[in-house]
Amino acid sequence: MGNSDAEIELKFDADEGFELPDLADLPGVAQVPPAEVHDLEAVYYDTADYRLAVNRHTLRRRTGGHDAGWHLKRPRSGGFRSELQEPLGEPGTVPEALRRLVEVHTRGRDLVPAVHLSTRRTATELRDSSGAVLAEIAQDDVTAELPDVDGRDGEVKRWSEVEAELVGGDLALLEAVRARLVAAGARLSDAPSKLGRALGDRVPAAAAPQVAADSAGEALLAYLRDRVDDLIAHDPLVRVDAPDAVHQMRVSCRRLRTVLAAFRPVVEAGESDPGENEPLRAELQWLGEVLGAARDSEVVRDRLLASVAAQPPELVLGPVQSFLTETFSTRYRAAHDTALETLGSPRYFALLDSLDALVSTPPRGPRAGEPATEVLRKQLRRTYRRIKRHVDEARAAEGEHRGELFHEVRKSAKRARYAGDAAAEALGDQAEDYAKAMKAVQEVLGDYQDGVVARQELRALAVAAHLDGQNAFTYGRLHALEQVAGERALEKFDGAWRQAKRSRVK
């Protein structure tokens, strides 16, 4: 992966002949060297239906200036953007490192030239007393050439603009630059980028679905949109194996599945099309399971390595730590490779399209238009009744079957927690307290279930170590410790469940 930087800049419209005001007296500025003039040529790439532009991404190959190469700009919080760079390479060949980061939007579509920009740039640097660059002011005269697309004739557009970008300075300097440029006649631009200005109305505007205010449909649609955005945001992070990315993307799948199941009277048309979201829930489960293989390897590895590190050295017989590390690292790499293949598959792209369709239309359930507080409260009560039924069954069971039933309690608690999160905006503290209590139940039983899985793995590791000629004593010791930890986790369950009962939605 090439360089990656957060880009903090302001863009201004300027009339032809705009003159840059004196900026030498701004806070922290000690030097303003003579301006440099650059001729820049850039080809912007997008799909034929402008999927990148719709999602506020820009991908270009630019020659000229000090940063020639491929550039990918993506939105980030605060209204700013991040930028990644790759070397020039061959014209027309998008670097693989950048292509895969936008695949969540392109979804198998070809990236083709969308705009050719020619820019005469006059660049002025603001430096401190040591000569370090604080900010760069770029005055650009731009010519944009758009190709023929879908029967629409090509166009040529021309305009002038000014960009002020922070380099080593702070936001106070950027604000001072803004005030000085506006006083000189520049105007803050509404155009998100040169590409956006060039494309104009070629980029379709997303229409917000009309939903009744304060309705259950409005509340859940907003929540669903946020979760879809989360899933899409974590896609490129999974591709570069960023920390916790697999886990967070998997959580997004689970939260979406929960809303579609727990709030069926809101999100499904009911009698006219019962179970209409079941295929979508099944695909989210499929994606979650693919991601889960990598995540589960991480969880077990970290748990067992921490347990080994806590043992007295004289009780760690043989290369236990290295054996664990290699075993689970190999398993994780294989699972992550499978996840990457999945994220490039037509099936995954179809799932993303289905999620787009889900959040671009109003919920069609028979109770979607009713008050959110009434409907969501009723559905949360249903999630409580479901988990209570599982708790009663688990407490009445014996032997190994009891452990399996407590695993079902854990899964129900997780669904109840996510349902509470989905209703929190409408119900406030009532839903938040419910979700918090169910999270505690989930975590207690999660510790228990992680111990069950760890014991299974330790038995297999002990056999493998023995067959490899190693001493298996430590694996047996860890197995016994996991069994004790599991029993203690179950002892904590009663307290967590009492709090959950007190926090149930009434």
Per-domain boundaries in the chain: 4-202, 214-366, 371-506
Tokens found for residue 428: 């406030």
Given the candidates 3.40.640.10, 2.40.320.10, 1.10.730.10, 3.30.390.10, the CATH classification of the domain at 4-202 is 2.40.320.10
Q: What is the largest CA-CA distance in the chain?
A: 85
Q: How far is CA 341 from CA 195, 238, 336, 404, 407, in A?
A: 31, 12, 9, 32, 30
Q: How far apart are CA 305 and CA 484, in angstroms?
A: 18
**Distance, CA of 243 to chain centre:** 12
| Residues 165/8, Cβ–Cβ less than 8 Å | yes
pLDDT of residue 397: 86
Is the four-CA dihedral 110, 114, 119, 121 of positive or negative sign?
A: negative
pLDDT tens per residue, the chain (506 residues)?
Answer: 555 455 688 999 998 889 999 999 999 999 999 999 999 999 999 999 999 999 989 999 999 988 899 999 988 765 557 889 999 988 889 999 999 999 999 999 999 999 999 999 999 999 999 999 999 999 999 999 998 877 778 899 999 999 999 999 999 999 999 999 999 999 999 887 788 889 988 888 777 787 888 999 999 999 999 999 999 999 999 999 999 999 999 999 999 999 999 999 999 876 445 578 999 999 999 999 999 999 999 899 999 999 999 999 999 999 999 999 999 999 999 999 999 999 999 999 999 999 999 999 999 899 999 999 999 999 999 999 999 999 999 999 887 788 889 999 999 999 999 999 999 999 999 999 999 999 999 999 999 999 999 999 999 999 999 999 999 999 999 999 999 998 898 889 999 999 999 999 88
Q: How far apart are CA 171 and CA 473, in angstroms?
A: 59
Q: How far is CA 57 from CA 67, 105, 214, 285, 416, in A?
A: 19, 9, 33, 29, 36
Query: 346 CB contacts (<8 Å, ≥6 apart)?
Result: 108
Give the three-class secondary structure for 189. coil
Q: How far apart are CA 202 and CA 196, in angstroms?
A: 9
pLDDT of residue 203: 86
Tokens found for residue 418: 């996510």
The torsion angle over the Cα atoms of residues 273, 278, 284 and 290, rounded to 10 degrees, is -150
